[in-house]
Structure 1
Amino acid sequence: MDSCCQISTEKPATPSQCPNCHQKGKSIQLITLKAMLQPTALETIHPEMTYNFCNNAFCGVVYFSDEQTFGKDMLKVSVFQKDDALDVPVCYCFGWTRERLIQAVQQNQRPIDHIREQVQANRCGCEVNNPQGACCLGNINTFIRSLDKR
């Protein structure tokens, strides 16, 4: 299995648009959908279809295909991009919530270094832990930079 945080050399497929907000989505692996959906929603997926992730914070849709959508209420976890609560993970693999990141930054710690070490040690499992199905390092960096601007 490839590391979830490795940069792919494959050309990504053209993303589809979310049927709710019309924002372009990011294609996700089927394993992510299977890991994130509650059992009743999981029973309705079409494994042969391509699913996408909608990261629009104001849209209730998390995953979509040409024929189907899954909202926030159909997932096992809260989605960082769609829930601004302090207890929502920014890094799902290693339990870094907004609150924990804020505390670490206030204590002059470097949480991004800790997370990078774990990623480099091949300990992340973003494809099954993170609803976006991809590495969280970009989200971590963006969130920490937003703290610096406060």
Structure 2
Amino acid sequence: MNECCQSSSLEKSNLNYCPICQQKGKNVPLITLKAMLIPKALDTIDSELIYTFCSNSSCEVVYFSNDQTYVSDDLKISVFQKNKALNVPVCYCFGWTRKRLTEATLKNQRPIEHIRMQVQAKRCGCEVNNPQGSCCLGNVTSFIRSINTDKNPTS
């Protein structure tokens, strides 16, 4: 689990398009699928294939390869990009849900700094905790920006 929040060679190779929504996805390590899939779905993965994560919130597909697709029901946990509920994690390693991030941000706390400190201390395990198989800081930052925008609309 070293350097889980650093870019990997998977990110730089072979990006594919989702067979359902046609959005470009990001490749994920096989360990991510092994950690995320329910046993019935895990029985069907092909360790020789490259799997890709579809982040399109309106698409049912979470992971895909040339021959297979997995949807939210095939995963053990809810996927931030696919489920808008307040109790869904934005940061899976440290339990920062939409609700918790919103509360902390409105109290002028700094959740991003907390997460960064944990990452620097090499405590994250994004490849096995986060369904996208990579660091959540981009998602956290975007979500907090949306809270700040809602709190301070410019009109």
The TM-score, its normalising length taken from structure 2, stands at 0.93
The question of whether the paired residues in 1 share the 8 Å contact of 2:2 and 2:122 is answered with: no
Give the 4+ runs in structure 1 shifted more than 3 A: 7-11
Give the secondary structure class of the aligned counterpart of 2:105: helix
Aligned equivalents of 2:84, 2:22: Cα separation in 1: 22
The question of whether the paired residues in 1 share the 8 Å contact of 2:11 and 2:27 is answered with: no
Cα distance per residue 1:108-128 (max 9 Å; x no partner):
100000000000000000000
Aligned equivalents of 2:11, 2:5: Cα separation in 1: 16
The TM-score, its normalising length taken from structure 1, stands at 0.96
Paired AA for residue 88 in structure 1: V
Give the secondary structure class of the aligned counterpart of 1:80: coil
Aligned equivalents of 2:48, 2:130: Cα separation in 1: 22
Paired AA for residue 89 in structure 1: P
Q: Residue 98 of structure 1 aligns with which residue?
A: 98
Q: Residue 13 of structure 2 aligns with which residue?
A: 13
Cα distance per residue 1:32-87 (max 9 Å; x no partner):
00000000000000000000000000000000000000000100000000111000
The question of whether the paired residues in 1 share the 8 Å contact of 2:11 and 2:26 is answered with: no
Q: Residue 64 of structure 2 aligns with which residue?
A: 64
Paired AA for residue 131 in structure 2: P
Question: Post-superposition shift, 1:7?
Answer: 3.4
Q: Percent identity?
A: 63
Q: Residue 108 of structure 2 aligns with which residue?
A: 108
Note if 1:75 corresponds to 2:75.
yes
Question: Post-superposition shift, 1:2?
Answer: 3.1
Question: Post-superposition shift, 1:10?
Answer: 7.6
Gaps of 5+ in 1: none
RMSD of aligned C-alpha atoms? Answer: 1.3
Give the secondary structure class of the aligned counterpart of 1:63: strand
Give the secondary structure class of the aligned counterpart of 2:62: strand
Gaps of 5+ in 2: 151-155
Paired AA for residue 20 in structure 1: I
Paired AA for residue 133 in structure 1: G
Q: Residue 27 of structure 2 aligns with which residue?
A: 27
